[in-house]
Amino acid sequence: MFVELQLNLDTREIEENVGLFPVLLNLLCDSDDQVLQQTLSVLAQISANDRYFHVICVNLLIVFKQHTDLLASRGKLIVEKLCELLGSTKVYMALVDKLVSEKIIYDDLEFCSLIVQSLNLILLTTDSKTMDELRSNIKNCQSNSDYWKLFATLFHAWSYNPVASLSLCLLGNVYPLGMLVILK
């Protein structure tokens, strides 16, 4: 029987156990749903510290790059669960920031397009309250400067995939930009 983990990790404990990251990230490839759920819960708890959150995001993208079959088969579940545990806006902003800023990732245009396609599909099709806030913020991007910054950040990454760029423009009601995407 699988025992649920309840961890209360402080920064000192995390720093002493940085060797856990590779183990946890490898557990994302496990075929057992309970193992995956618990691994994501532990990663979310570690992510309470922003420094580790960004390390986890970079390494999550690297795991997806190394295991594109994982992205195809379980990527939706992984991203949705992280969004549920940490907030969709926070997760999406961090993932796209790392996607466009980490050389090890952004040099592979095919992979970037695949990640953006996956994130876009999750954003548009996930039927849960988890994504509602993010979708609402994008829809209202023209009426709020913070939401516009969110849209612009996402669009920068979404430009790796023209169809995703267009769908983001349509979601945000930014039709003139959408028309420019179509013309390009």
- Predicted confidence at residue 35, as pLDDT, reads 94
The four Cα atoms 131, 153, 54, 123 give a dihedral, to 10 degrees, of 20
121 has a pLDDT exceeding 50:
yes
6 has a pLDDT exceeding 70:
no
Per-residue pLDDT tens digits for 42-59:
999 988 888 889 989 999
131 has a pLDDT exceeding 50:
yes
Total domain count, the chain: 1
In a domain, 101, yes or no: yes
Q: Which residue shows structure tokens 């994008």? A: 138
d(C-alpha 169, C-alpha 46), whole Å: 34
* % of the chain surpassing 90 pLDDT: 72
**Mean pLDDT calculated for residue range 154-173:** 97
In a domain, 5, yes or no: no
In a domain, 40, yes or no: yes
- Highest average pLDDT, of 29-33, 46-50, 54-58, 158-162, comes from 158-162
17 has a pLDDT exceeding 70:
no
In a domain, 2, yes or no: no
Is-contact 115 99, C-beta < 8 A? yes
Per-residue pLDDT tens digits for 142-151:
999 999 999 9
**Mean pLDDT calculated for residue range 71-86:** 94
- In the chain, the amino acid numbered 34 is Q
In a domain, 131, yes or no: yes
Q: Among the listed ranges 18-32, 74-88, 111-125, 168-182, which one has the minimum average pLDDT value?
A: 18-32
Higher pLDDT, 147 or 11: 147
- Predicted confidence at residue 105, as pLDDT, reads 81
Q: State the residue range of the domain holding 35.
A: 11-183
CA-nearest of 71, 84, 1 to 37 is 84
In a domain, 132, yes or no: yes
Q: Among the listed ranges 1-15, 49-63, 119-133, which one has the minimum average pLDDT value?
A: 1-15
In a domain, 97, yes or no: yes
In a domain, 6, yes or no: no
Q: Please, what is the average pLDDT of the chain?
A: 88
19 has a pLDDT exceeding 90:
no
